A and B are shown apart, each in its own frame.
Chain A
Amino acid sequence: MATSNNIKKKKTKPAIISEDQITKKQSTLYAFISFAVVVVLWQLAVLFLPNFGNIFPGPYDVVALMIKIVKEPVGRLTLFAHLGWTLKRIFIGYIIGAVIGVITGLAMGTSKLANAIISPVFEILRPIPAIAWVPMAILWFGLGEASKYFIIGFSTFVICALNSIAGARATSEKLKGAARMLGASERQLFSKIILPSSVPQIFAGLQISLSASCSTILAAEMVRSEEGAGWLILRGMNTGNMTLVLVGLIVISVTGLILATVMRAIERKAISWSFRGK
């Protein structure tokens, strides 16, 4: 009967840790092993496959070049300066785009009026890939940094707006009802219910647009710049230096990794309530 069930239910603790979860230490170890295996296989391929090294320089060459250009500049700048330029471009364009995108998206997701006004324009802009703006951006903002911020900003804006719209619209009617029942005003309904309950979706948008920014900046730097990861890749291509191309790839990868890690840390803080038993 029901009673035996209930006693059982009471005793079982909620399964916070699932069976196949691994410890942090283990996961670091596995990450290291898998990384090492790839590097070793890669180096072996270079050593023993004829011609492979010409089309795909080995890890030894890549690391050697990286160490060299930490001190000796390629073009105008050294390795970390190139990394810094790319980081800075993404960062500034991204922040501008994210702020405008989140505000626009929340407005559209919350207010039917705002949606009616903004969405026709937004729907036209939305499908345009950010790099399609490169010529326009150069015309409007010149060859300098501002045009790059604009391009990054645009791609971030679209993605963040879309996710914020979805977040605001997905706000539970029942939670809104509960808040109204407790005496919340329309304005408080936005600040105390719609905004916090959209936060996970907003962060999803922030993460996706960060990845998008990495590809956008690369394209923008390859079109027109004298520094950054995109420029390193282009320079390697033009001079037939595949090792430099790989260094450029690593620079953009590290840039993405740094930004995504920072973002994830902020996200964890902001929505700790949705991480069960962290």
Chain B
Amino acid sequence: MNNEVVIKCENISKTFPTADGTAFDVIADFSIEVNKNEFVVLIGPGQCGKTTLINIIAGLEEATSGIVTVGGELVTEPDPKIGVVYQETNLFPWLTVMGNVEFGPKAQGESKASRQERAQKYIDLVGLTGFENQHPNKLSGGMQQRVGIARVYTNEPLVLLLDEPFGHLDAQTRYLMEEELEKIWRQERRTVLFVTNNLEEAIFLADRIVLMTNCPSTVKQEYIIDLPRPRDITSREFLKIREEISKNLDLTS
């Protein structure tokens, strides 16, 4: 039923020119498909081109070869149907929480009542009720990341790309945010491609985990995670899967 492919990367390669004139192959022949409302986690070592890949899917960077389609259309430039959240929250510091969250629909000319109603819904959903009129620099890192998530949800994108969104947070806040994100996703299903280098986070969130190789990176292996949600990270099944994947995972870099 859910096998409609929404994100499709076909044979993506990316080469950066380097200072000494040689070419640096970051991504080589990378293909992946993400189905409608599927939560796919991409995991791989640092500096192996994960962010580059996200930027290519988001239309912010061009692939050296290969094509990306989202919702059946070729991606050539940033598009509101592709929502991205990075590790740096990229919130607009001069706008309040509400101003940030309603930015997308406001720019696209949606009426104030309608966009603010939806913005409020997601502000409530990420647990920031009461902070609508604060500026981002008054919020903690975890709260800022929540604003980023509410902002992207309010824009109602077809797909969500999350690039190590919790990478800056301390472990405790990180667990909390993972739980929240998973809860939000269960309430508001979306097609998600989530990047991390944390295996526990990957297994906690993913329907499917895609393991990346070192540079030039490509798909090493895929794992379907069919544990019931919400998952217990201390359960035997969880630890077993974790053990199995970690044998195959080389996060050193």
Contact = CB atoms under 8 A, between A and B. Distances in A.
Interface of A: 2-3, 5-7, 9-10, 14, 172, 174-175, 177-185, 188, 192-193, 196-197, 199, 271-274, 276-277
A183 B108 contact: yes
B170 A9 contact: yes
Contact of B78 (A14, A175, A180, A196): A180
Contact of B92 (A2, A193, A271): A193
Place the interface of chain B in its size category. 20 to 34
Contacts of A277: 138
The 5 closest A-B pairs by CB, nearest first: A183-B80, A182-B104, A180-B78, A178-B90, A6-B172
Contact of A181 (B80, B95, B135, B170): B80
Contacts of B95: 273
Contact of A185 (B60, B107, B138, B172): B107
A184 B107 contact: yes
Given A175-B90, A192-B107, A181 B171 contact: no
A181 B172 contact: no
Given A6-B171, A174-B90, A273-B137, A181 B83 contact: yes
Among B78, B93, B94, chain A packs the most CB atoms within 10 A around the CB of B94
A56 B98 CA distance: 60
B107 A196 contact: no
Given A180-B78, A183-B105, A273-B95, 19 more contacts: A6-B170, A10-B170, A14-B140, A174-B88, A178-B84, A179-B92, A179-B103, A180-B60, A181-B58, A182-B80, A182-B152, A183-B104, A183-B108, A185-B107, A192-B92, A193-B92, A272-B135, A273-B93, A273-B135
B191 interface: no
A5 B170 CA distance: 9
Contacts of B93: 197, 273-274
Nearest to B140: A14
Contact of B155 (A9, A183, A193, A197): A183
B8 interface: no
A181 B79 CA distance: 5
B103 A197 contact: no
Contacts of B223: none
B94 A196 contact: yes
Contacts of A175: 90, 92
Contacts of B138: 276-277
Given A182-B80, A273-B135, A197 B94 contact: yes
A197 B86 CA distance: 20
